[in-house]
Amino acid sequence: MRRDVLDLRRFYASDLGRAARAMVSRKLEEAWGDAAGLDVLAVGYATPFVAPLRDRARRVVAAMPAQQGVEVWPGGEARNLATLTPEDGLPFQNALFDRIVVVHSLEESHDPVAFLREVWRVLAPTGRVIVTVASRNGLWANTEKTPFGHGRPYTRSQLAELLREAELEPAGWTRALYVPPVGWMAGWAEGFEQAGSRLWPGFAGLLLMEAVKQTFAVKPKGTRARVRAARPALAPSPAAAPVSRTPDQPSRRERLAPSRLRS
């Protein structure tokens, strides 16, 4: 069962949630810059991470699964940019978005391949998607005190295989969130991030993988078909064999031609 949107909002208002937002937002900025002039989609509950992109991106919208619920985003007097959607039917046209961020969505999906195929459908041919999941070997996947402790965590090979099954080709990956999921340690998140990436990289809390859309030119396959040739109504007669004659025997023309000499 998915986490409720109210639980997710409370988590990101806490010290640990702010630390997670800072670490993941940094990774997005390293990968995509400020996304100037691009169309960005946040799937699941990814609004805490894409909010900084709104200043330069052409469009930033959020799609939240129906089982989770939706919140008005970005709030205040700004126009709402979030919508409630079934996970297997995003309400957008094909190849619309240049960048897609997936957070708090894949781990609790009832059909991960079908979900990622929808992401593939709305991603532009030159677009990129970053999928963020709880790392199977990290501490965050082993505690239910945070939203990352629910659903299915993934290893790097498992996530890459799942993306390829949905025709998304992995192009890069990284880890984030090395601080233990304990509230009073959130203030040292930056120090844990610097030391953990060098000393114990396998114990990161989150796994981020970037993928690109696979597109193939499909050639039509030729098929054999029987062709029934029309038979002529009258079959041609075989040519007559030439008639041999002796040199002294007159031809038919010679026999029928009147003689010019009279005796």
Which pLDDT belongs to residue 249? 52
CATH, residue 196: 3.40.50.150
Count of structural domains within the chain: 1
Side-chain half-sphere exposure of 216, counting CA atoms within 13 A? 6
Check residue 241 and give its pLDDT: 53
**What is the predicted pLDDT for the residue at 194?**
87
Domain membership flag for residue 200: yes
3-state class of 42 per DSSP? strand
User: Distances from the Cα of 205 to the Cαs of 8, 131, 162, 215, in angstroms?
Assistant: 17, 14, 19, 32
- Note whether residue 6 is domain-resident: no
The answer as to whether 243 is a domain residue is no
Residue 45 has what pLDDT?
Answer: 95
- Which residues make Cβ contacts (< 8 Å) with residue 49, sequence separation at least 6? 21, 24, 25, 28, 42, 101, 103, 132
**Burial category of 185 from C-beta neighbours within 10 Å (exposed 0-12, middle 13-18, buried 19 and up):** middle
Q: Mean pLDDT over residues 25-32, rounded?
A: 93
User: Across residues 145-160, what is the average pLDDT?
Assistant: 93
CA separation for the pair 44, 101 (Å, rounded): 9
DSSP state of 136: T
- Say whether pLDDT at 258 is over 50: no
Asked if the model's pLDDT at residue 217 lies above 50, the reply is no
230 is a domain residue: no
DSSP 79-97: PP-EEEE-TT--SS-TT-E
Give the model confidence (pLDDT) of 192-209 as tens digits. 888 887 888 788 999 999
Q: pLDDT for 108-123, tens place per residue?
A: 999 999 999 999 999 9
Q: Is residue 240 part of a domain?
A: no
pLDDT greater than 70 at residue 246: no
Residue 213, judged by CB atoms within 10 A of its CB (0-12, 13-18, 19+), counts as: buried
Is the CB of residue 27 less than 8 Å from the CB of residue 52? no
Range of the domain at 89: 15-213
DSSP 8-class letter at 186:
G
What are the pLDDT digits (tens) for 29-67?
Answer: 999 998 999 999 999 999 999 999 998 999 999 999 998
Indicate whether 8 belongs to any domain. Answer: no
Q: Residue 237: which pLDDT band, with cuts at 50, 70 and 90?
A: very low
